[in-house]
Each structure stands twice: as structure tokens, then as C-alpha cells.
Amino acid sequence: MSSHEPLSCHLAVVSQNQTVGDWAGNLERTREALAETTRRGARLVLFPEMGLSGYSLGDRLPRRGTLERSFESLRALAPATEGLVALVGLPITWRGVLLNAMAVVADGEVRAFVAKENLATGDVEYENRWFQGWRRGRVDTYKTPDGQRVPLGSLVFSARGLGRFALEICEDGWKGLRPGSAAALSGAEVLLNPSASWFVIGKHRTRQRMIEQVSREDHCAYAYASLLGCDATRLVFDGSLIIAENGRIVEEGRRFLFRERVEVVDRVVDLEALRLARREEGSWREQAEELDAGGYGPTPTLLELPGDYRTAAPAPADEPYWSPSVSTTADPSLAWLEPRIGRITERDLPHLELELALALALRDYTNKTGIQAIALALSGGRDSAMVALIVHRMLRYEHPDASDDELRSIVARTLLTAYLSTSNSGHTTREAARGLAESVGATHHEVDLQEAFSLHRQLCEEASGTALSWDDPVDDLTLQNVQARLRGSFIWMLANRRRALLLSTSNKSEAAVGYTTMDGDTSGGVAPIADVPKSLVTLWLRWARSFHGYDALDAVNVQAPTAELRPPEHQQTDEADLMPFEILDQLLYAFVQKAQDPLEMFRTLWPRFEAHYRGDAKAFAAHVERFVKLTCFAQWKRERFAISFRVTAFDLDPKTGFRFPAVQAPFTEELADLRAWVEGL
């Protein structure tokens, strides 16, 4: 057997909680990971996409200082790679354009670079703003800032003790025509995917299935590594680490780590088993021949790396082929949590992932900005209850070994809440807010703003020369909004005295239709649940009551959502002001995510809601029309919302997600089509 044909390859994948611009810290965490992989005996180490610089650089990317410091970090890291090959992500410039690249550092030397081919652009991704995608099959010579000349491009690497391996960077692995497939047909037994794959509820399952399928189709070992936490803002990374072999996931790392800065997973891969699978399969040989003939596009270039990276560790033995594969948990990457929070079932996963993502994002935002206290207006309703509990969960995950009394002390120092009332507020919400605050240990205040509200009303009446009446629609809105703004003003005052970050409690559904008061309930520096629709808020609270045992939620969950801004005799509820949230949220999905026009929305959703409307198509059409108009008119409000975290399939953040015109004709002709069609039913 040739010395270039090892039986096994010891590889490791790394997740890191990096911070944009933290050059020293990012380098330190990378060195920490290399030290751990060396201790384990790994010889091929994969780091996440843009791991040295942080991924979410935005318009810091083109700055000369960003590029210089990224390469300086790479040079400083190189000596730590003695005896192994490390794949490290950073931005580079080539022929005057930016590339999203992975450096191949072998035995202390930078040997090559591979650039991303398929740029992630669309939705929250914006890579085409900064980067140039690499043309498949191209190989060039890259002159590094310190004068070295190394290969750059579509490369397959060969090294003693590692066999053949190749890279496909994040989005490259999600495309039908993957660069990894050509590399595999060219002989690469190990494919490595460095990613900055942002979290969405349920995405990890999709990721697992994709990796299993690719490793099966390409008869390869597939290694996947992503970032952890928030490296800047908005995007949350769950820290996914996966190694699969020939269709089966064999190793997974822990996701959503709060205490650890680095996670490492390693595996000794049986290369001979992969080669055998390829030799045995006729269709594989046919595809390889087609690649040689140019049928699948350019063939990657083979690059031999100097050095000896053989491992003495044997590949682990397979489980008996007759043994069924039975997982002991709903998600192996979250099994580390079960000793602390209890058994996780399939039904728990979406709610737990949502909780972990929001808690980790908020923890990183506060820690990385030096914030030590948090404030929020606790209304006794669902939205503020969820935000308060996310803070509580964040502190529990950050202090897993604290006793209940110790945690209450930590919460009291960290979380300030206030129930801000007028004569329109009710006893039920006051007690619900108080009970929730007491249950988690928050420092809680109850403040009566009625006198301030009355004074504002009096001053407005004197200035306008007209008495304000709840029966006048203009006055009604004016009187509601001033109460919300007084609440916002006062909670800001309390937050300022504690030097606390004020959290906005607005949800996605209300943001969509502008059911929120600017400078009132939108007040805050961060809006943790701005990407959580009201229907999901309700479901999460019910789950949290059962799963975590938050008894105080009983008083919250039984209420109909209400802003409590009108007098009690008006019996104000949010759904009476708008429409049922179940309907609103599905209209939102159809309008934003599916880009449906009003008539298409009606025709798609009417069969689902016909029973609710008792066959009254005009009533549903009226709700569709109301939704579309409100959503168009509310864009100016969304332009001013606080920073939020992306956690669901689409978001309304105009800076990263739903980039909608603030001034437009609100689908006038399209709504006319809807009315005409319904009239003809």
C-alpha cells in the first residue's frame, strides 16, 4: 500500500463564539481549539466560515484594516498548526475584489486558499454586496500580503495520513450543483463544509438530512462546522457540528453553549471503507468517467501537501449491522441539557430551540456590549411575560450550577420590571405581572401613571380648546397612544437609573400591522421577540408552563390579549381591534414569505378559514384587505424598531429581512380584484 493511501484520517470540527472586530479574542479562541484538537490527536481540523474575523462584518469588510488584521491573525496562528492541517476562514482580496475564503494551513505554513463559489444572497444574506463568487474549476496563484505565492481556487488536497479532502463553503453545500460532488468524483474521500449558518427553528433537522444524503451519495466523510452565538447582532448561530460517514451521522457537537467559548468534535474516519463503497458501485465509476470526460464541468486541481499526518488511532468499529439505530434523545446535540431540564421530546424541540436561540442571542448582546442589567415593562400580558422568561432562562443557562436561591439573587440584580398602570388597567393584569416577577425573582415596581395621563389630557384640551372624547376615533387614538408613551417614558427613566438595557416587548404580528405605539411599547434597545408571531408566543408560553413549571403563567395564559388603553367598559382586546391572531399570522406568512397578492391569499386560505367565518367570504376578504393596508402603512414604523434576532423562516426587519417600500400605493388594484372576485362568488 502506498504511503499516500492511509487507512484512516483523524479529523476534528470546531465551533467558536467569535465577535466581529475582536481580533485578539478570536485568535485566542482559535488557538484554544487547536490546542484541544492536538491533545485529542486530530490531524485535520475544520473551523467555521470567516472564523478569524467574525462573519457579520457588514461594511467593516472592505476596510483595509479588516483585511490586514485578518491576515495578521492567520500568520500568528500558523505556528500552532505544527503536525496538522487547519482550515481557517477569513476575507482576502484578489485582483481588487473580496473573496470569502478558507486558508489551508499545514504544518506551520499557509499552503493554499479556497474561495466560496455560491454567495449567500437573499433573505437576510447579503454577500453579493461585498464578495465576488469564485468561478468553478479556476485555479490561480495568490500573492499573500507578506509576499508568499500560493494556489487559490478549486482544489482537492492530498496529504500523507489524510487521504484526499476538499472544501465547499456553507452555501456551496446547499446547491444542487455542489463543488463537493466534483471533488468527490475526483477522489476526495473527506468533504469539509465551514459555515456561518444562522439559526431558524427546525433548520438543524434539515441540515442533518442534507449532510446524511450528501455523505451517502458521494460515499464520503462529510464534516460540518458552524459559528456559535451572535458575532455581531441579529443573526444567531447555534454552533452546529456534524460528522457523517457514508449516509450516517457518527458525531455531533453540543449546540447553544452558554459557558464554553469553543466546542470540538473529532472522529477517526475509515477511509478504506469509503474507497470500498466507491469501488463496489457501478454508477459511481460511470460518474467518475463522465467527470473525466468533462460532462460535469471543470475538474478540480489536485494539490499535494507536504508533511506526515498519519494517526495511530484506528477507526472505531461499526455497530453490528443487525442492530437498529435508536436515538436515546430527540436531538443528540441538545442531550447535554437533559440532566438539567429533563427529557426532551420531539414536541419540545421547536419551543426549546426558540428559547435557547433567544436566550443565547440576548446573553451575547449584553455580555459583548458590557451591559449588566435589563429592564422591561411587565404588563401582565403574554409578550412581556415571554420576554421576562427569556431573560430568566438566559440567566439559568449562564449559571447552571446556581441553586434556586442563588439564581433568584442573580435575577434580582439583573432584571428590573415595572407594571405601569392607569385607571384603564385591570386587577387581573396587575396580579399576573406581580406573580410572574415574584416567581422569577425580578426587582419589580408598580407605578400609577393616572395623574400623569390626566395632566397630559388636560394640557392637550387646553392647547386645542376642545375636550377629548373616547367616542371620537381621533381622540380615542390620541388618548391610547399617550398612555403607551407615558409607559415608555417612565420605563426608560427606571432603566437609565440602573444603567440597564431596556427591552421592547413587541411581537412580529403586531409589528406587521403597526398595532404598536411609536415611542411607547416600541421603546427599547433590543426587541427579543420581534421575530416571534403572536400565535407562537401563545404556544411557547403554554409549553413553558408545562415544561419548566412556571406556575405563574396560569394567570397570563388565561387572559385574552389586551393593551388596556381604553376604559374598562370598552372591553378592549387585541383581536377585536385587529382580527384573530391565528388568521393574521397566516395572512402574514402568505403575504411576506410566499409573496402572494390579496386575491391569491384569499383563495389559498379561504378553505382553511371558511368554517371560522361561517361561510361569510366578504368578512374574510375584509380582513385580508385590512391586513394588506395596515402592513403597507406600517412600514415606517418597522423602519424604527429596535434591534431584533432572527429565529423564524422570515422576518420583518427592513435592514436584513423584509425590505418593503415605506411609501407606496397599498395594492390598490390588487384589492379591487379581490373585491370583484368575492362579489362574483
pLDDT tens digits, one per residue of 614-668: 999 999 999 999 999 999 999 999 999 999 999 999 999 998 889 999 999 999 9
- Using a CB cutoff of 8 Å and minimum separation of 24, what contacts does 467-474 make? 470/566, 470/567, 470/570
In a domain, 225, yes or no: yes
pLDDT of amino acid 2: 47
Tell me how long the chain is: 681
In 253-339, at which residue ranges do the beta strands (DSSP E only) sit?
262-270, 301-308
Average pLDDT rounded to a whole number, residues 443-472: 97
Average pLDDT rounded to a whole number, residues 343-362: 97
Average pLDDT rounded to a whole number, residues 259-270: 97
Average pLDDT rounded to a whole number, residues 388-395: 98
- What's at 285, amino acid-wise? R
Indicate the Cα dihedral angle 632, 636, 637, 641, nearest 10°: 120
Sheet strand arrangement including 8-16 = 139-143, 149-153, 109-115, 97-106, 85-94, 44-46, 8-16, 262-270
Instruction: Read off the pLDDT of residues 548-597 as tens digits, 9 standing for 90 and up.
Output: 999 999 999 999 998 899 999 988 999 999 999 999 999 999 999 999 99
β-strands 121-122, 109-115: how paired?
unpaired
In a domain, 565, yes or no: no
pLDDT of amino acid 354: 98
CA distances to 11, 42, 106 from 162, rounded to whole Å, are 8, 10, 12
Q: How far apart are the first and last CA of the chain?
A: 77
Residue 83 has phi, psi (to 5 degrees) of 85, 5
Asked if residue 1 has pLDDT above 50, the reply is: no
Confidence of residue 326 (pLDDT cuts 50, 70, 90): low
In a domain, 370, yes or no: no
Contact of 226 with 250, CB cutoff 8 Å: no
C-alpha cell at 22: 475582536
- What's at 621, amino acid-wise? A
Nearest-5° angle of CA 475, CA 507, CA 379?
65
Confidence of residue 176 (pLDDT cuts 50, 70, 90): confident
User: CA–CA separation, 526 vs 484, rounded Å?
Assistant: 18
If you average pLDDT over every residue of the chain, what do you get?
94
Closest of 157, 162, 156, 155 to residue 5, by C-alpha = 162
392: left (phi over 0), alpha (psi -120 to 50) or beta: alpha
69-78, 207-216, 277-286, 329-338 — which is least confidently predicted?
Answer: 277-286
pLDDT of amino acid 266: 98
Residue 102 sits in which domain range?
8-307
Closest of 512, 490, 663, 504 to residue 591, by C-alpha = 512
Average pLDDT rounded to a whole number, residues 33-37: 97
Place of cell 501537501: 305
More confident residue, 293 or 515: 515
User: CA–CA separation, 279 vs 288, rounded Å?
Assistant: 11
Q: Is 551 exposed, middle or buried (0-12, 13-18, 19+ CB in 10 A)?
A: exposed
pTM of the model: 0.95
C-alpha cell at 355: 428559547
pLDDT of amino acid 341: 95
Running DSSP on this structure, what letter comes out for residue 591? I
Contact of 243 with 44, CB cutoff 8 Å: no
Average pLDDT rounded to a whole number, residues 9-17: 98
Q: What is the CATH number of the domain that holds 90?
A: 3.60.110.10
Asked if residue 4 has pLDDT above 60, the reply is: no
Confidence of residue 325 (pLDDT cuts 50, 70, 90): low
Closest of 116, 164, 158, 119 to residue 136, by C-alpha = 116
Residue 220's CB is within 10 A of a number of other CB atoms, namely: 29
Contact of 143 with 151, CB cutoff 8 Å: no
Half-sphere exposure of 499 (CA within 13 A, CB side): 6
Half-sphere exposure of 488 (CA within 13 A, CB side): 19
β-strands 374-377, 501-502: how paired?
parallel
pLDDT of amino acid 328: 66
In a domain, 359, yes or no: no
High-pLDDT (> 90) share of the chain, % = 89
Asked if residue 488 has pLDDT above 60, the reply is: yes
Number of domains in the chain: 1
Which alpha helices (DSSP H) does 78-194 contain, by range?
179-185
Confidence of residue 367 (pLDDT cuts 50, 70, 90): very high
Contact of 389 with 362, CB cutoff 8 Å: no
Contact of 593 with 556, CB cutoff 8 Å: no
pLDDT of amino acid 369: 95
C-alpha 89: how far from its chain's center? 20
Half-sphere exposure of 564 (CA within 13 A, CB side): 21
Residue 429's CB is within 10 A of a number of other CB atoms, namely: 21
77-91, 276-290, 444-458 — which is least confidently predicted?
Answer: 276-290
User: CA–CA separation, 633 vs 1, rounded Å?
Assistant: 71
